[in-house]
Structure 1
Amino acid sequence: MTSEKPEFKEVLRHTIWASDLTPEQLARVEADTVEQFVPKGGYVCRKGEMVDAWIGVIDGLVKMNNLSPEGKSVTFTGVPKGGWFGEGTLLKQETRKYDVVALRDTRIARMPAKTFMWLLDNSLPFTRFLLMQLNERLGQFIGMVEFDRLLDVDTRVARCLAALFNSHLYPGTDPLLQISQEEIGYLSGASRQRANQALQVLEKEGLLKVDYGGIQILDLDGLRRFRM
């Protein structure tokens, strides 16, 4: 771990759900949760695996996706730094229904299922957080049905970028979004070239600025309302 990267325990203490834990609860989380490095293109977890942990993105970017029987890749969502996922599968105690792949070198936190369930039983604030998390996730996936079936590529890219700024699911996302055009293509179901064209359209509308190594978001509400 380089000196520029925050210490793992410090990152855990500053997650959106940790602020209301008791010292005892936080100490157990810190003792039980482990860090994992996943290189670009590597699997964070795979479809069909029995879920044994709640997973957070400490640094990097991952996508949830599946392959259709015909081999077509279907991306459900991206999870940037600060996002946590897998609570629904843990609560249902079933196998994972999707693959999770790192779109760049990524640091992952894994909280064991036993610790996750202990928090659920012993922390009312954590339970409230999970209710909000599940509600936000449901709204996100309902929106993605429309996203996939009704929207053109320019609008899909706009919604894809706006979705990364959900303050509950992905707290602390910086307006200078460190994301490549290739990654935007993966998340919006478009080629890199088509995603680039969409970004040019959105830039002309004054909604963002394409900078070297990232996207500067200028009008988040405008991205959310684009062509509504």
Structure 2
Amino acid sequence: MHRTMSIEKRPLKEVLRETIWARQLTAEQMARVEADTVEQFVPKGGYVCRKGEKVDAWIGVIEGLVKMNNLSPEGKSVTFTGLSAGGWFGEGTLLKGEQRKYDVTALRDSRVARMPAKTFMWLLDTSLPFTRFLLMQLNERLGQFIGMVEFDRLLDVDTRVARCLAAMFNTHLYPGTDMLLQISQEEIGYLSGASRQRANQALQVLEKAGLLKVDYGGIQILDLDGLRRFRA
């Protein structure tokens, strides 16, 4: 499945105002967020952030797709999760004041927003709705990682690919994800820990099961609940 991805240039202020966490901010709080948050372009294969660096910002994906990963002592790459447009990350490390414990790299050309740590902590101190959002964010992320440990250790590749795709439709972590998922077989392989060829085979299995349709522009999800329940 070969395609050319283009990055739609939506203004940063527009993106910020549409986030879940911004909906109940005051005018003063939103004004500071807009003034302090900056945009960064990250080319495919580039680093959004690196393991071991000082965490100085809360980061959101405006457009594109990035993955959170690490290298094992043996040099094997371990992917924790993929982050699509609308997803924000790094709040746990900011709250703990630690160095970053993972790399985040772009699977395709991406645009990210960086909210300075001082602004993030100010919102935490001044906005109860923002604090509630973060509690939900941390809870959803914990559930996501518990599920990933299960499917990485217990499930076959076909089921891993199904769960990987379904996980991208978490309405809190990745709001606004379209049922036509613009993702390549190579990217699915990275996120599910499989080769491109094996990811392609898994997609064929899921397509025959009536759960999705592989289109030129991406993957059309036909039965999201079926993907969540699928077992080969």
TM-score interval (norm. to shorter) = over 0.9
1:132 aligns with 2:144: no
Q: 1:97 aligns with which of 101, 104, 109?
A: 101
- Cα separation, 2, equivalents of 1:16 and 1:102: 23
Hey, what does 1:210 align to over in structure 2? 214
Deviations 1:108-129 (A, max 9, x none): 0000000000000000000000
1:226 aligns with 2:226: no
Deviation at 1:4, TM superposition (A): 4.8
Q: Show the 5 A alignment for 1:169-180.
A: 169-180=173-184
Q: 2:32 aligns with which of 16, 28, 31?
A: 28
Residue aligned with 1:17, SS: helix
Provide closer, same or farther for how the CA distance between residues 227 and 34 of structure 1 changes in structure 2, counting only shifts above 3 A: same
- Cα separation, 2, equivalents of 1:46 and 1:121: 27
Q: 2:68 aligns with which of 64, 67, 71?
A: 64
Residue aligned with 2:101, SS: coil
Deviation at 1:147, TM superposition (A): 1.1
> Residue type of the partner of 1:124?
L
Q: Which runs of 5+ in 2 are unaligned?
A: 1-5
Confirm or deny: 8 A CA contact 2:7 2:109 kept in the other structure. Answer: no
1:160 aligns with 2:149: no
What RMSD over aligned residues (CA atoms) do the two structures have, in Å? 1.2
Hey, what does 1:198 align to over in structure 2? 202
- Cα separation, 2, equivalents of 1:174 and 1:94: 34
1:88 aligns with 2:71: no
Aligned-residue identity in percent = 89
Hey, what does 1:16 align to over in structure 2? 20
- Cα separation, 1, equivalents of 2:9 and 2:104: 23
Hey, what does 1:42 align to over in structure 2? 46
Confirm or deny: 8 A CA contact 2:8 2:63 kept in the other structure. Answer: no
- Cα separation, 1, equivalents of 2:34 and 2:150: 39
Deviation at 1:5, TM superposition (A): 2.0
Deviations 1:132-176 (A, max 9, x none): 000000000011110110000000000000000000000000000
Q: 2:187 aligns with which of 183, 189, 196?
A: 183
TM-score w.r.t. length of structure 2: 0.96
Hey, what does 1:119 align to over in structure 2? 123
